[in-house]
Amino acid sequence: MHPLALAAALSLPALASALSWTATPFSPPSYPLAVRSPYLSAWLPQGSGTALNGAWPEFWTGAILGWAGFVNVDGSSYSFLGTPAVPSATFQQATQKSAEFTSTQSVFVLTAGGIDLTVSFLSPVEPSDLLNQSIPFSYMALSAASNDGSSHTVSVYSDISAEWVSGDDSLTVDWSTTTGDLIFHQVQLAAQAEYSEIDDRIQQGSGYYATLNTDGVTYQTGEDTVVRAQFISNGELANTEDTNFRAVSDDWPVFALAHDLGTVSGTSDTVVYAVGHVRDPAIQYIIADDQLQPRNLYFWSQFSTVNDLLSTFLGDYEGALVRATAFDAQVKSDASSISSDYADWVALAVRQAFGAIEFTVSKDSSGNFNTSDIMVFMKEISSDGNVNTVDVIFPSWSIFLYTNPEIGKYLLLPLFEYQATGQYPNGWSIHDMGSNYPNATGHNDGDDEPMPVEESGNMLIMTLSYVQATNDTSLIADYYKLLDQWTQYLIADSLIPANQISTDDFAGSLANQTNLAIKGIIGIRAMGEMASLAGNSEESSNYTSIASSYVTQWQGFATSSDGKHLTLNYNNDSSWSLTYNMWADKLLKLDLIPDSVYEMQTAWYPTVDAEYGVPLDTRHTYTKTDWQTLTAGIMTNTTVRDMFISALHAYASDGENNVPLSDLYYTTNGDVYEFQARPVVGGHFALLALQSAGSSSVSNATGGISSHSIDASSGSRLDVRHAGAVLGVVCCTAMAFATIL
Ligand X SMILES: *[C@@H]1O[C@H](CO)[C@@H](O)[C@H](O)[C@H]1NC(C)=O
Strands 283-287 and 201-202: unpaired
Q: Does 325 bind ligand X (CB under 6 A)?
A: no
Q: Does 569 bind ligand X (CB under 6 A)?
A: yes
Residue 335: what are its φ and ψ, rounded to 5°?
A: -70, -25
C-alpha 219: how far from its chain's center?
Answer: 33
CA-to-CA distance for 192 and 209, rounded, in angstroms? 19
Q: Pick one of 41, 96, 132, 403: the residue that binds ligand X (CB under 6 A).
A: 132
Size of the site for ligand X (CB under 6 A): 45
Per DSSP, which regions of 74-189 are E strands?
Answer: 76-81, 92-93, 95-101, 105-112, 115-122, 137-146, 152-161, 172-179, 182-189
What does the CA dihedral 431, 404, 138, 281 come to, rounded to 10 degrees? 50
| Residues between 465 and 484 with contacts to ligand X, criterion CB under 6 A | 470-471
DSSP 8-state class, residue 686: H
Shortest gap between Cβ of 510 and ligand X (angstroms)? 7
CA-to-CA distance for 544 and 523, rounded, in angstroms? 10
Shortest gap between Cβ of 126 and ligand X (angstroms)? 4
Q: Pick one of 208, 394, 570, 583: the residue that binds ligand X (CB under 6 A).
A: 570
Q: Pick one of 278, 640, 659, 688: the residue that binds ligand X (CB under 6 A).
A: 640
Partners of residue 503 on adjacent β-strands: none
C-beta of 152 vs 323, nearer to ligand X: 323
Q: Pick one of 301, 485, 572, 621: the residue that binds ligand X (CB under 6 A).
A: 572
Contact 67, 42 (CB under 8 A): yes
Q: Which of 241, 142, 126, 134 is nearest to 183 (CA)?
A: 241
What does the CA dihedral 189, 195, 201, 206 come to, rounded to 10 degrees? 40
CA-to-CA distance for 70 and 76, rounded, in angstroms? 10
What x-and-dash track marks residues 340-359 binding ligand X by CB under 6 A?
--------------------
Partners of residue 222 on adjacent β-strands: 254
Contact 100, 89 (CB under 8 A): no
- Window of 108-116, 229-237, 275-283, 633-641 that interacts with ligand X by CB under 6 A: 633-641
Contact 369, 363 (CB under 8 A): yes
Q: Does 692 bind ligand X (CB under 6 A)?
A: no
| Residues between 602 and 621 with contacts to ligand X, criterion CB under 6 A | 606, 618-619
Q: Does 668 bind ligand X (CB under 6 A)?
A: no
Q: Does 301 bind ligand X (CB under 6 A)?
A: no
Q: Pick one of 267, 333, 336, 696: the residue that binds ligand X (CB under 6 A).
A: 696
Q: Does 416 bind ligand X (CB under 6 A)?
A: no
Per DSSP, which regions of 253-304 are E strands?
Answer: 253-264, 271-278, 283-287, 291-297
Q: Does 646 bind ligand X (CB under 6 A)?
A: no
Q: Which of 603, 610, 599, 649 is nearest to 629 (CA)?
A: 649
Shortest gap between Cβ of 283 and ligand X (angstroms)? 10
Distances (CA, A) of 704 to 466, 537, 589, 698, 701: 16, 10, 20, 11, 8
| Residues between 493 and 552 with contacts to ligand X, criterion CB under 6 A | 496, 511-512, 542
- Window of 126-134, 143-151, 387-395, 475-483 that interacts with ligand X by CB under 6 A: 126-134
C-beta of 434 vs 679, nearer to ligand X: 434
What x-and-dash track marks residues 38-57 binding ligand X by CB under 6 A?
--------------------
C-beta of 175 vs 605, nearer to ligand X: 605
User: What is the contact surface with ligand X in residues (CB under 6 A)?
Assistant: 126, 128-129, 132, 195-197, 312, 316, 319, 323, 364, 370, 372-373, 436, 439, 470-471, 488, 491, 496, 511-512, 542, 557, 568-572, 574-575, 606, 618-619, 637, 639-640, 695-696, 700-701, 709, 721
